[in-house]
Structure 1
Amino acid sequence: MSPFERYLTLWVALCIVAGIGLGYLMPDVFAAIGAMEVARVNMPVAVLVWLMIVPMLLRIDFAALGQVSRHWRGIGVTLFVNWAVKPFSMALLGWLFVGWLFRPWLPADQIDSYIAGLIILAAAPCTAMVFVWSNLTRGEPHFTLSQVALNDAIMIVAFAPIVGLLLGLSAITVPWATLVLSVVLYIVVPVIGSQILRRRLLASGGQVALERLLHRVQPLSLVALLATLVLLFGFQGEQILAQPLVILLLAVPILIQVYLNSGLAYLLNRWAGERHCVAGPSALIGASNFFELAVAAAISLFGLTSGAALATVVGVLIEVPVMLSVVRIVNRSKGWYDRGARVARMTTEAKA
């Protein structure tokens, strides 16, 4: 791990502070950037997302995707956590903390809206940022890509029913244009573009040319992550500074659910005998959220200044530093993980 990656938590914290400060001092500038949208998807953020994930996508040889079937245990675990556990555990935590324990310290007219925002956040599994987390844990790239693509396909049909069920609504208006465009922007376009570039590099200079380019562009992934944070927190700088106690209280259930779901996925993978390079990204995919979609959906359903919109932005505030801590836990526990009886047996059988 490079010195830049080793101190990533510090850079993240500095970018969050810088984003909030700049958003407070220059609201008009960030309002103009925030207005650069198509179907509520911010285009500058989309470009930064491409820069985040293209370096990893360049490493993927799609001819090897057939090998992903060997990781069916990891895929099963992640799907279970993402769709059968995470939205419902977040709803429970929201009702417990926001609806009951923290109610005296929160605006009474926003309680239900805060809970709705937490539910929307948990019902949207992460798409783009997962590639960064997987890369930091030396995750299996073909598993990560396949799992994210599968989650996107499920999200198209499952997002609205799950949110509607948990919000107790008979019908719910989902920003379908936002969802479809996000999938195209964050998955389809970078995958196609990276594969065209990969083939041209291999055809002209072979593996040496590809590795040379990867060495040069890899830092762009982390730089784009930091720039994205500056933008996102710049958009919400004024609200965050105006409601510090609300931000802190909303962070509690989000924090608990990240560790709960990542830990559950990690332990289930170990119990199932899946390799660490799959268990790492599985845990991260199981816990992280597609915050771009969640923020857009909350704004569409409840309004820009609603408690729901603020709750999803708090999710962004918590997401990066907490996911970095999960990355650190996954990396440091590799020795313990590999000593699991089923993991050791599966590894031995695979080598044989």
Structure 2
Amino acid sequence: MNDTTTTPGDVAVVAKLSFLDRFLAVWIIAAMALGLVLGRLIPSLDDALDSVKVGSVSLPIAIGLLLMMYPVLAKVRYTETSRVTGDRKLLIASLVLNWVLGPALMFALAWLLLPDLPEYRTGLIIVGLARCIAMVLIWNDLSCGDREAAAVLVAINSVFQIVAFAALGWFYLQLLPGWLGLATTSAEFSIGAIAISVLVFLGIPLVAGYLTRTIGEKTRGRDWYESSLLPKIGPVALYGLLFTIVMLFALQGDAITSQPLDVVRIALPLLAYFIIMFGGSFALGYQLRLGYAKTATLAFTAAGNNFELAIAVAIGTFGVTSGQALAGVVGPLIEVPVLVALVYASLWAKRRFYPDTIS
């Protein structure tokens, strides 16, 4: 069968996205523009946001961050985390890619491409530590990946982020740079601040998401929960993300408009990261003979990042107007079009390397 064979997964990939997800990059750009306008029209906005705080984060932004995370964690099938342990190759490969190679690659790219921009560099390293638990389910479905394996790997990543995020932050932001003779992060902070941010902005929505799924499935069943309830609460994550972006850009408008090349420089290591992680993970899955569906799942779960958590940690640790927060905000703008392109690349690889799977 030649490379021009068409499969159901190839047809109108972008059209399979919901209206909100299909134009996510457009909404993000619009939110950025609105934030810049508000920053110009309301000079006292920063004082208003700081008037009521949750810890070091203004209350409106804290609410936006929690709204970003809750629907994502309500999608996870927590009861199925044990099912992936039967495929040791997939499990070990995913853990190594997500928690060893991924953070190390982002660390290397951030130092290589942003040696003179320490705040953005730190922000990207935080992004590298926040493994994907959200949009990866969409990219996995569009690429005809293994839906159940993706759900399990997402659940495992959720647990690992609670347990390992703060420790990895200490390693990559303080310990490893010291070993290598590099400067540590650009601002004084405690690893405890990162741990608190993770516990608040991941822990609270994780408990809420777990309880929502548990109670919903027990009372109405999984079919109702996933076909009726999730579609209703799912868009809340996007609304929370867009609201947070509006606030961030309202507060960082001057820095952004005066240094637009900085945004481009932040985008370059992100672009390299997505391509290298996806290509390397797909090649690994092929070598391990996981089959196309699990290989695609492995590649997308390794390539994506949890920008919601990265933004929350950067704001909670360094402040809403920090360069670290801006680096997190640029992430989704780059991720969406790149991973849509990688969906097409995955379907091409399916035709090229897994012709027996084409029906």
Pairs within 5 Å for 1:1-352: 1-69=17-85, 70=87, 71-72=90-91, 73-95=93-115, 98=116, 115-125=117-127, 130-138=132-140, 140-164=150-174, 165-166=176-177, 167-169=182-184, 173-210=188-225, 211-241=227-257, 243=258, 246-248=259-261, 250-273=262-285, 274-285=294-305, 290-298=310-318, 309-310=322-323, 312-339=324-351, 341=353
AA of the residue aligned to 1:247 = P
- The secondary structure found in structure 1 opposite 2:237 is helix
Percent identical pairs in the alignment equals: 17
- Structure 1: distance between partners of 2:330 and 2:139: 19
Deviation readout 1:149-208 (Å, 9 max, x if unpaired): 424533322323432343435998433343122211222211211222222222222234
Q: Which residue number corresponds to residue 106 of structure 1?
A: none
AA of the residue aligned to 2:102 = N
- Structure 2: distance between partners of 1:37 and 1:124: 23
Root-mean-square deviation (CA, aligned residues, Å) is 3.2
- Cα distance change of structure 1 residues 76 and 14 upon mapping to structure 2, 3 Å threshold: same
Deviation readout 1:199-243 (Å, 9 max, x if unpaired): 2222222234413211222222222221121111122123333x1
Q: Is the 8 A contact 1:53 1:221 kept in 2?
A: yes
- Cα distance change of structure 1 residues 173 and 180 upon mapping to structure 2, 3 Å threshold: same
**Cα offset for 1:16?**
0.5
AA of the residue aligned to 1:31 = D
**Cα offset for 1:117?**
0.9
Q: Is the 8 A contact 1:130 1:284 kept in 2?
A: yes
Q: Is the 8 A contact 1:53 1:131 kept in 2?
A: no
How many residue pairs were aligned?
316
Q: Is the 8 A contact 1:40 1:296 kept in 2?
A: yes
- Cα distance change of structure 1 residues 16 and 133 upon mapping to structure 2, 3 Å threshold: same
**Cα offset for 1:257?**
1.0
- Structure 2: distance between partners of 1:272 and 1:85: 16
AA of the residue aligned to 2:103 = W
Q: Name the one with the larger helix percent.
A: 1
User: TM-score, normalization: structure 1?
Assistant: 0.77
- Structure 2: distance between partners of 1:324 and 1:5: 9
Q: Is the 8 A contact 2:102 2:277 kept in 1?
A: no
- The secondary structure found in structure 2 opposite 1:275 is helix
Deviation readout 1:72-100 (Å, 9 max, x if unpaired): 212211223333221122112123xx4xx
- Structure 1: distance between partners of 2:306 and 2:231: 29
AA of the residue aligned to 2:135 = W
- Structure 2: distance between partners of 1:285 and 1:123: 11
- Cα distance change of structure 1 residues 287 and 190 upon mapping to structure 2, 3 Å threshold: closer
**Cα offset for 1:339?**
4.5
**Structure 1 spans left out of the alignment, 5+ residues:** 99-114
